[in-house]
Homo-oligomer: A and B are copies of this chain.
């Protein structure tokens, strides 16, 4: 996605130039640290692209793009505590580098800083911006809670899983786009089409993550292939497998969750997935969401005049990692 490099560099620069006080250093050093960690910056780029699509200049949507990215960083810092994750993007997580208390409080202050960015807009759109942002922020918390709850449940239904990834991930993409559209003065229908585009793309993207964990290009994925299987994670692949498995296959799945040899575990699950044609079913489901996403975009774009969002979606759909 080289055509978006300038956008992500702009966002990085803006994040680094935010006025973060020096003191108390235990509160603010983690913010500076996190802002330099990098990342794809997909969410704030969506805000900028949505606003541009409706005639707005980059500069105008930047504070909202930062609000979205800062909110995302808040949720990552708190999620990393909850998931006991030691590493993010190749660097120590905040609660590991400092401690849990500092990570809680730095996350809190980030959430408030996101609201400060949002509060820079004119009064006539402030309520609208806050309404969608608040609703989304709460949904993201609900999604994270569902994800934690699912860790203690062996069988999750497909619809519950899709609802969880929608809340945990997709609504923030929808919100990022809608906020950009509001700032650029798009009408309600256009806002809603962009929001729905984001929801569908987000779900597709998450399903793809589950697929790439197992079937991605090992040299590009950048993490252990089959990591989800080793961790007994409820992925969509596993959920679809359990949907179609006969009792022998279900027993085999249960056995494999206790298998200590990682290679044997991954191979065993892969064999079952092949028998049940799970890879194909999962890819079909993913593509149906990507198609829905493009459909919502089609509703507000002419065939001859495709926005950068169209190109971004294609690039995401065909990523190998």
Contacts and interface: CB of A to CB of B under 8 A. Distances in A.
Interface string A182-225: 00000000000000000000000000000000000000000000
Number of copies: 2
Interface string A98-130: 001110110111011101101100011011001
A137 B112 contact: yes
Interface string A116-154: 101100011011001100100110011011101100000
A145 B112 contact: no
A27 B119 contact: no
A26 interface: yes
Contact of A108 (B105, B119, B123, B141): B141
A82 interface: yes
A119 B127 contact: yes
A10 B111 CA distance: 30
A24 interface: yes
A78 interface: yes
Nearest to A108: B141
A81 interface: yes
A113 B138 contact: yes
A19 to B, nearest CB: 12
A291 B113 CA distance: 35
A22 to B, nearest CB: 12
Interface residues of A, number: 37
A136 to B, nearest CB: 9
Contacts of A26: 145, 148-149
Which of A102, A118, A145 has the most chain B CB atoms inside 10 A of its CB?
A145
B142 A27 contact: yes
Contact of A127 (B78, B100, B126): B126
A152 to B, nearest CB: 10
Contact of A112 (B104, B109, B134): B134
Nearest to A21: B142
Nearest to A101: B82
B111 A134 contact: no
B142 A116 contact: no
A126 B128 CA distance: 11
Contact of A27 (B109, B111, B141): B141
B119 A149 contact: no
Given A82-B101, A111-B111, A119-B131, 13 more contacts: A26-B149, A82-B104, A101-B148, A105-B141, A105-B148, A112-B137, A112-B138, A113-B138, A116-B134, A123-B123, A126-B127, A126-B130, A130-B130
15 contacts: A24-B142, A24-B145, A27-B141, A78-B104, A78-B105, A82-B104, A105-B144, A108-B108, A109-B142, A111-B112, A115-B115, A115-B130, A119-B130, A123-B124, A123-B127
